[in-house]
C-alpha cells in the first residue's frame, strides 16, 4: 500500500478512469510565460485521465505602451495570441477550475481581479457554487507573496461557494516544489527561469483537483 493510500484510503491515480465526465478549465494570466507554462503542465497532468480540459487565458488589460516597452511581455503575448480567452460560459461549463496567476505586490494581478468582478451574475444565480478549485502562483522572490496571492484568490472562491481542493502535503512532489500546501508556487528569476522543480507538483495538483471534482460530481463511492 502506498503513502497516499495509507493516509487517505485511496490514491488519486486509481480514480482516473472515473473522470470521463469531469470538465476542467485551467485559467491563467501571464505576462512573461511562467504561469502559461504551469497551466500547460497542469493540462499535461490531466492527459490520459479522461477529463475534458480547456486552457484559457485571462484577457490582457494593460495599456499597449506598457507591453511594448517590455520585450518579454510583448513576445509572450504574441506566442499565446491563439489561446482562447476565458469567458463566463467557460466558468459555467467547467466542474473544476485550476488557476495559475503571478504575484503583483503580494496580490492578484488586476487583470484577474477584473475578470473575477464580472462573475456577479453567475454567482447571483448560484452557478459557481460547488465548483472545485485550486490555484498556483509565481513571484520573483522565494518569499515574494505567492501564498498570499493564492489565499487572496481563494477568498473570492469562498464567496462563490466553491470547494477549494488545496494540495496540502498529499504527494512527495510538493516538498521538492518548495512545500506550499495552498497551491503550487514557484520563484522565477529575472532571466525567466524557474528556481524550483515544480512540474511534478503542478501535475499532481491538477490530478487531485480533477479527482475531487469527480468525487463531488459523481459521489465519493
Ligand atoms: C507590478 C508587479 C508587481 C510584482 N510584485 C511582486 C511581488 O510582490 N513579489 C515578487 O516576488 N514578485 C513580484 N513581481 C514579479 C512577478 O510576480 C513575476 O514577474 C511573475 O511571477 C512572473 O510570472 P509570468 O511570467 O507568468 O508573468 C511583480 C511584478 C510586477 C510587474
203-215 tens-digit pLDDT: 999 999 999 999 9
Question: CA–CA separation, 112 vs 101, rounded Å?
Answer: 8
Total structural domains in the chain?
1
- What pLDDT was estimated at residue 18? 81
- What pLDDT was estimated at residue 154? 98
Regions of the chain where pLDDT drops below 70:
1-17, 220-221
Cβ atoms of 14 and 72 within 8 Å: the answer is no
**Tell me, what CATH number does 122's domain have?**
3.40.50.360
105 ligand 1 Cβ < 6 A: yes
Cβ atoms of 208 and 132 within 8 Å: the answer is no
Neighbours of 84 (CB within 10 A): 10
134 ligand 1 Cβ < 6 A: no
| Structural domain boundaries, residue 173 | 3-218
104 ligand 1 Cβ < 6 A: yes
Residue with the smallest CA separation from ligand 1 atom 3 is: 104
Question: CA–CA separation, 80 vs 175, rounded Å?
Answer: 31
Q: What's the gap in Å between 102 CA and the centre of ligand 1?
A: 6
- What pLDDT was estimated at residue 11? 56
Nearest atom, ligand 1, residue 186 CA: 21
Residue with cell 522565494: 142
- What pLDDT was estimated at residue 190? 86
Judging by DSSP bridges, how do beta strands 132-139 and 52-57 pair with one another? Answer: unpaired
195 ligand 1 Cβ < 6 A: no
Question: Would the CA dihedral through 145, 147, 153, 155 be positive or negative?
Answer: negative
Question: Would the CA dihedral through 134, 53, 92, 73 be positive or negative?
Answer: positive
- What pLDDT was estimated at residue 188? 97
Amino acid at each position: 500500500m502506498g503513502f497516499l493510500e495509507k493516509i487517505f484510503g485511496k490514491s488519486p491515480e486509481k480514480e482516473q478512469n472515473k473522470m470521463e465526465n469531469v470538465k476542467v478549465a485551467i485559467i491563467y494570466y501571464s505576462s512573461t510565460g511562467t504561469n502559461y507554462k504551469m497551466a500547460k503542465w497542469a493540462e499535461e497532468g490531466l492527459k490520459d485521465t479522461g477529463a475534458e480540459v480547456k486552457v484559457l487565458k485571462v484577457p490582457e488589460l494593460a495599456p499597449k505602451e506598457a507591453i511594448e516597452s517590455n520585450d518579454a511581455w510583448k513576445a509572450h503575448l504574441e506566442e499565446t495570441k491563439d489561446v482562447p480567452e476565458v469567458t463566463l460560459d467557460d466558468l459555467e461549463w467547467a466542474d473544476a477550475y485550476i488557476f495559475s496567476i503571478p504575484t503583483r505586490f503580494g496580490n492578484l494581478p488586476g487583470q484577474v481581479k477584473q475578470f473575477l468582478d464580472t462573475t456577479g451574475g453567475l454567482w447571483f444565480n448560484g452557478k459557481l457554487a460547488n465548483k472545485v478549485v485550486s490555484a498556483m502562483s509565481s513571484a520573483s522572490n522565494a518569499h515574494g507573496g505567492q501564498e498570499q496571492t493564492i489565499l487572496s484568490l481563494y477568498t473570492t472562491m469562498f464567496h462563490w461557494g466553491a470547494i477549494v481542493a488545496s494540495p496540502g502535503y498529499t504527494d512527495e512532489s510538493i516538498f521538492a516544489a518548495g512545500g506550499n500546501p495552498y497551491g503550487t508556487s514557484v520563484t522565477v528569476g529575472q532571466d525567466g527561469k524557474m528556481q524550483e522543480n515544480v512540474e511534478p507538483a503542478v501535475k499532481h495538483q491538477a490530478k487531485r483537483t480533477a479527482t475531487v471534482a469527480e468525487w463531488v460530481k459523481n459521489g465519493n463511492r
